[in-house]
Copies of this chain bind each other. A is one copy, B any other.
Amino acid sequence: MINIYIPALQTSAGEKAARYIDTLTKPIGSLGRLEEIAVELAAMTGEVFPTVTPPGVLVFAGDHGIVKEGVSAYPQDVTAQMALNFLQGGAAINVFSQQIDAQFKLIDIGIASDLSHKDLVQRKVKLGTASFYKEDAMTRSEAELAVQVGYEEAEELIAQGIKCLILGEMGIGNTTSSTAILAVLTGEKVSKLAGMGTGISDEQLRHKVNVIEEALQNRHINPQDPIDIISKIGGLEIAGMTGAMLAAAAHRIPILVDGFICTVAALLATEINTQARDYMFASHESVEQGHACAMKLLGKKPLLNLNLRLGEGSGAAVTFPLLHSASLMIANMATFESAGVSEKE
């Protein structure tokens, strides 16, 4: 699992795309970041005229034992309840997935209860993680399996023809796990990274910080070993997203990274294979406290800033039309020559 081959970017395709964009009927550079996106897409896919449709949306759901320590605004049952909501098409990510004609798949990678529905992909690694305040979240082999599940599920969607991958998650308690992971990866203070999650009070936030700080002291994590991080303080759905991103990168499929939790999963993917980063776009600037720090470490500049903090992949889905615009621009605009338009004097 850990030794994944990710091809280098095809910079020559990107350069060709950049030169071609300069022949299109518009002042040079006047489409700003859309032009940059088109060039990046070309380098990722190796196609001067890259396509991004149809996109695929892969949502991983898993529970977190850490919610027993009172770190979340919502009860654990909400993970399963929201999973059903996803399956019935009522969640934000369903609405936005439909808007962009995405293939949508929900994976039960670790919900704490048994759930069955014809459209639910059953890949449960365990019935939720253990509370990492008291013990390791999962075993090392469970962590590896969760990454593997994500990898396989993304490969299946890719085999079905998706051209861009959006990752989402559902898991009450997962900002706590993500904050702990980010603290390990950055060495930053937990109090600088912890945020309101689904909406806790200031007092609950102080408690959340204390829980994470004590947990980190007790878990003895090797910050150089991403699987050690996942097994000790991670989440199953976070590991699933990490694996899925590695698969997308291995297949030259552009990845739209969502908010805080997804960005932490992206960081774990780059810890496993640094080239995974080359295939990622940062979709939006979340208002969740730690996101800016995570994004800085990932080294990407978000495309949108709409004060989102929902997760589920919703922000990435909302960002997708920009990638689509960029790909349509290069594919369908006329050139100065083809349109018979005079160039700059």
Contact = CB atoms under 8 A, between A and B. Distances in A.
B85 A31 contact: no
Copy total for this chain: 2
Interface string A5-42: 00000000000000000001111111111100000000
Contact of A99 (B78, B88, B96, B321): B321
Most buried by B among A77, A198, A306, A343: A306
Most buried by B among A24, A28, A287, A310: A310
A26 B310 contact: yes
A60 B303 CA distance: 29
A256 to B, nearest CB: 14
Interface in A81-113: 81-82, 84-85, 88-92, 94-96, 98-99
Contact of A91 (B25, B310, B324): B25
A158 interface: no
Interface of A: 24-34, 73-75, 77-78, 81-82, 84-85, 88-92, 94-96, 98-99, 198-199, 287, 303-310, 314, 318, 321-322, 324-325, 328-329, 332-334, 338-345
Nearest to A85: B339
B96 A325 contact: yes
A342 B26 contact: no
B99 A338 contact: no
A314 B31 contact: yes
Contact of A25 (B85, B329, B332): B85
B321 A73 contact: no
Given A199-B28, A310-B30, A344-B199, A88 B305 contact: no
A28 B90 CA distance: 16
Given A306-B33, A322-B306, A95 B329 contact: yes
B31 A75 contact: no
**Nearest 4 Cβ contacts at the A-B interface:** A90-B334, A32-B307, A321-B321, A30-B310
Contacts of A314: 31
A77 B336 CA distance: 13
Contacts of A334: 85, 88-91
Given A25-B82, A30-B199, 14 more contacts: A24-B92, A27-B74, A31-B314, A32-B287, A32-B308, A34-B318, A73-B345, A81-B342, A84-B339, A85-B334, A95-B332, A96-B325, A96-B329, A304-B304
Nearest to A198: B27
Contacts of A333: 90-92, 94-95
Nearest to A334: B90
Contact of A325 (B28, B29, B78, B318): B318
Given A26-B310, A329-B95, A333-B95, A78 B31 contact: no
